[in-house]
């Protein structure tokens, strides 16, 4: 049954016109783009679900705050305002802005990773994983087994496997494990939340083995909303209390503000401990900027400070999470195979099950991405065969990823429920005629990260 969705808890003050194209125009545009949605011009897109990162709509309070930006190199008033907000939410007194999430990742990994060390987490995001590896570390994804099964309907599929975590800590000890990273929500398996109980237990293990625990807090508010909704004992608690409790179990956090910061650019790190902060400040000066701006304009610090407070408004979060769930319900009602349950920021469709007549070598998820653009001008992204196929270094044989998914990431406060209905109906139309879908083949690919630039053609 489709759960009724609540109305938008805001009205629209400024509009951005959307260009409507015809199906025959879109057929030409996507062919010219080599059937790769990264080559499309955003003007030719009606609804853009490529990412929820940096795509939020700001509120009137954020736009007003921009005008108060203090653009000074050192000691900016806007920095102190942001620091106060971050400390009030996280409890961490030491705050360092960065230009975006990966700026924070660079600094933390440079500070703490020595070659040959292990960094356990529930599941590291791609850019985090790359930073860990670049510094010689070995990222370990220890998410619970249910987290890797698309059909497993578990409330906290982002949880870390505590037994595996303890084994790693016991085997390698604090000299070989510089820190543990909890990503909330867990983006790499669909925006799945981590329970408070799991965080508390992981923190207990970290304390026992004297290893610091950090959060990748890009979607901390969505995670805390899921705790409130799904975890016994939290229903009546205020979101801010839940958030503070969650952060209290860690030693610090890294944040891409482009998600739950409700801004278009920015990031930060925050620490409980002064000595870690001092080390981070030194690297910040080299890589990001003086520690009171860290690569951000004063006005952006102001907008972020407001965004971090707004994101904890329960009526906003309820609407946000319900909007994502509504899209999932509409698709599931007619049997579209999706990753269950939907996460906080996106719905994922299982490409292999959507079009089982298309072999994985012919990119079933990418076929759906292309059809969705042709059908309705909607941009989604394939996270599967084109993105994650590897080559056996000895035999050259292709090793396909287990999952071939299409991600529909929903930007925050941007699309109305009517837009979401258009997305659902377009996918359902394609699903009803899925037998007619044809596979794709790659006709150009780069050596690394091929999915960003490769070109496809339809099979004969
Ligand atoms: N951590 C998580 C969990 C993320 O999802 C991202 C970005 C980052 C770190 C890096 O932050 O982009 O500000 O440097 N995720 C985006 C996405 C790109 O589309 O999911 P950044």
**What is 286-324 written as a DSSP string?**
HHT-STTTTT--HHHHHHHHHHHHHTT-HHHHHHHHHHH
Q: Does ligand 1 come within 6 angstroms of the Cβ of 53?
A: yes
CA dihedral 39, 42, 45, 47 (to 10 degrees): 120
Closest CA to 366 of 435, 424, 452, 429: 452
pTM over 0.85: yes
- 40 is in which domain, residue-wise? 23-52+314-458
Q: What distances in angstroms separate CA 99 from CA 148, 195, 221, one per listed residue?
A: 32, 29, 20
Report which ligand 1 atom has the smallest distance to the Cα of 267.
13
Whether residues 361 and 418 share a domain: the answer is yes
The CB of 218 under 6 Å from ligand 1? The reply is: yes
Three-state SS for 94? strand
Q: Examine the domain organization and report whether 103 and 74 are in the same domain.
A: yes
Residues 126 and 171 in one domain: yes
CA within 13 Å, CB half, 135:
21
End position of a domain, from candidates 310, 327, 342 = 310
- Write the DSSP assignment of 408-426 as a string of letters: EE--TT-S-HHHHHHHHHH
236 and 363 belong to one structural domain: no
User: Among 125, 215, 316, 363, which one carries the catalytic annotation?
Assistant: 125
- Whether 73 is a known active-site residue: answer yes
Instruction: Judge if 30 and 109 occupy the same domain.
Output: no
User: What's the confidence (pLDDT) of residue 387?
Assistant: 86
User: How many Å from the N-terminal Cα to the C-terminal Cα in the chain?
Assistant: 40
What is the rounded distance in angstroms from the CA atom of residue 56 to the CA atom of residue 66?
Answer: 15
Q: Report yes or no: 269 and 108 within 8 Å, Cβ to Cβ.
A: yes
Q: Which candidate in 31, 57, 110, 126 is catalytic?
A: 126
**Whether residue 183 has its Cβ less than 6 Å from ligand 1:** yes
Confidence (pLDDT) at 389: 87
Q: Determine, yes or no, domain membership for 13.
A: no
DSSP state, residue 6? P
270 closest CA partner among 288, 294, 283, 253: 253
Residue 364 lies in a domain: yes
Kindly state whether residue 14 falls inside one of the protein's structural domains: no
CB–CB of 371/406 below 8 Å?
A: no
- Judgement on whether residues 303 and 224 belong to the same structural domain of the protein: yes
Domain match, 91 and 39 both: no
The answer to whether residues 235 and 332 belong to one domain is no
Closest-lying ligand 1 atom to the alpha carbon of residue 100: 13
Shared domain for 282 and 351, answered yes or no, is no
Of 38, 61, 73, 452, catalytic: 73
Question: Is the torsion defined by CA of 27, 31, 37, 42 positive or negative?
Answer: negative
Rounded to whole angstroms, the Cα distance separating 328 from 125 reads 23
Note the pLDDT of residue 7. Answer: 86
What distance in angstroms lies between residue 160's CA and the mean position of ligand 1's atoms?
Answer: 19
- Kindly give the distance from the C-alpha atom of residue 449 to the centroid of ligand 1, in angstroms, as a whole number: 16
Q: Are residues 199 and 300 in the same domain?
A: yes
Q: Would residue 4 count as lying in a domain?
A: no
The whole-angstrom separation of Cα 170 and Cα 214 is 19
**Cα–ligand 1 centroid distance for 84 (angstroms):** 24
| Residue 100 CB less than 6 A away from ligand 1 | yes
Is residue 255 in some structural domain? yes
For residues 29 and 154, state if they share a domain.
no
Task: Answer whether 101's CB lies under 8 Å from 255's CB.
Answer: yes
The CATH number of the domain holding residue 396 is: 3.90.1150.10
Among this protein's residues, is 172 annotated catalytic? no
Q: Can you tell me the distance from the alpha carbon of 86 to that of 99, in angstroms, rounded to the nearest whole number?
A: 16
Q: For residue 285, give the CATH number of its domain.
A: 3.40.640.10
Instruction: Please report whether residue 184 resides in a domain.
Output: yes
Q: Would you give per-residue pLDDT tens digits along the chain (460 residues)? A: 788 788 899 999 999 999 999 999 999 999 999 999 999 999 999 999 999 999 999 999 999 999 999 999 999 999 999 999 999 999 999 999 999 999 999 999 999 999 999 999 999 998 999 999 999 999 999 999 999 998 999 999 999 999 999 999 999 999 999 999 999 999 999 999 999 999 999 999 999 999 999 999 999 999 999 999 999 999 999 999 999 999 999 999 999 999 999 999 999 999 999 999 999 999 999 999 999 999 999 999 999 999 999 999 999 999 999 999 999 999 999 999 999 999 999 999 999 999 999 999 999 999 999 999 999 999 999 999 998 888 888 898 999 988 899 999 999 999 999 999 999 999 999 999 999 999 999 999 988 788 899 999 999 8
Indicate if ligand 1 lies below 6 Å from the C-beta of 125: yes
Domain tally, the chain:
2
Same domain, yes or no: 267 and 384: no
**Is position 272 within any domain?**
yes
Q: Whose CA is nearest to atom 11 of ligand 1?
A: 101
CA atoms within 13 A on the CB side of 50: 17
The last residue of a domain, from among 310, 327, 343:
310
* Predicted pLDDT at 184: 98
Of 310, 338, 366, which marks where a domain is finished? 310
Nearest residue CA, atom 8 of ligand 1? Answer: 101
The yes-or-no answer on residue 451 being catalytic is yes
Which residue, by CA, sits nearest to atom 12 of ligand 1? 101
pLDDT for residue 334: 96
The alpha carbon of 53 and the centre of ligand 1 are apart by a number of angstroms equal to 7
| Token pair for 297 | 């304009």
188 belongs to a structural domain: yes
């Amino acid at each position: 049954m489709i759960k009724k969705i609540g109305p938008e808890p805001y009205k629209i003050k400024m509009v951005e016109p959307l260009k409507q194209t015809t199906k025959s125009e879109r057929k030409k545009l996507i062919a010219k783009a080599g059937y790769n949605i990264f080559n499309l011009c955003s003007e030719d897109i009606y609804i853009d679900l490529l990412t929820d990162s940096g795509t939020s709509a700001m509120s009137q309070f954020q736009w007003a705050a921009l005008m108060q930006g203090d653009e000074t190199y050192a000691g900016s008033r806007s920095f102190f305002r942001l620091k106060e907000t971050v400390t009030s939410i996280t409890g961490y007194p030491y705050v360092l802005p960065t230009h975006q999430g990966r700026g924070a990742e660079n600094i933390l990994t440079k500070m703490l990773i020595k070659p040959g060390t292990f960094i356990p987490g529930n599941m590291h995001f791609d850019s985090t994983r790359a930073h860990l590896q670049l510094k010689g570390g070995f990222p370990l994804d220890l998410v619970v087994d249910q987290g890797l099964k698309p059909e497993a309907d578990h409330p906290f599929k982002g949880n870390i496997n505590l037994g595996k975590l303890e084994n790693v800590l016991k085997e390698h000890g604090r000299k070989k494990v510089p820190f543990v990273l909890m990503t909330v929500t867990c983006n790499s398996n669909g925006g799945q939340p981590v329970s408070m109980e799991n965080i508390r237990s992981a923190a207990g293990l970290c304390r026992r083995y004297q290893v610091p625990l950090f959060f990748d807090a890009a979607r901390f508010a969505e995670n805390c909303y899921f705790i409130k909704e799904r975890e016994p004992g939290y229903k009546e608690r205020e979101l801010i209390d839940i958030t503070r409790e969650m952060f209290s179990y860690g030693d610090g956090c890294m944040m891409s503000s482009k998600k739950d910061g409700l801004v278009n650019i920015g990031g930060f790190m925050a620490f409980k401990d002064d000595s870690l902060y001092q080390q981070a400040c030194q690297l910040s000066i080299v890589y990001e900027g003086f520690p009171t701006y860290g690569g951000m304009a004063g006005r952006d610090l102001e907008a972020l400070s407001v965004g971090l407070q707004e994101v904890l408004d329960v009526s906003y979060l309820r609407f946000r999470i319900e909007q994502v769930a509504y899209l999932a319900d509409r698709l599931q009602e007619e049997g579209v195979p999706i990753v269950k349950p939907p996460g906080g920021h996106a719905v994922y469709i299982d490409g292999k099950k959507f079009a089982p007549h298309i072999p994985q070598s012919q990119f079933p998820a990418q076929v759906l991405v292309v059809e969705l653009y042709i059908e309705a001008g909607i941009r989604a992204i394939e996270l599967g065969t084109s993105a994650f196929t590897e080559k056996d270094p000895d035999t050259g044989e292709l090793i396909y990823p287990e999952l071939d998914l299409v991600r529909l990431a929903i930007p925050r406060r941007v699309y109305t429920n009517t837009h979401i209905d258009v997305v659902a109906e377009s996918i359902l139309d394609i699903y009803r005629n899925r037998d007619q879908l044809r596979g794709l083949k790659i006709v150009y690919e780069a050596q690394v990260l091929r999915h960003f630039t490769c070109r496809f053609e339809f099979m004969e």
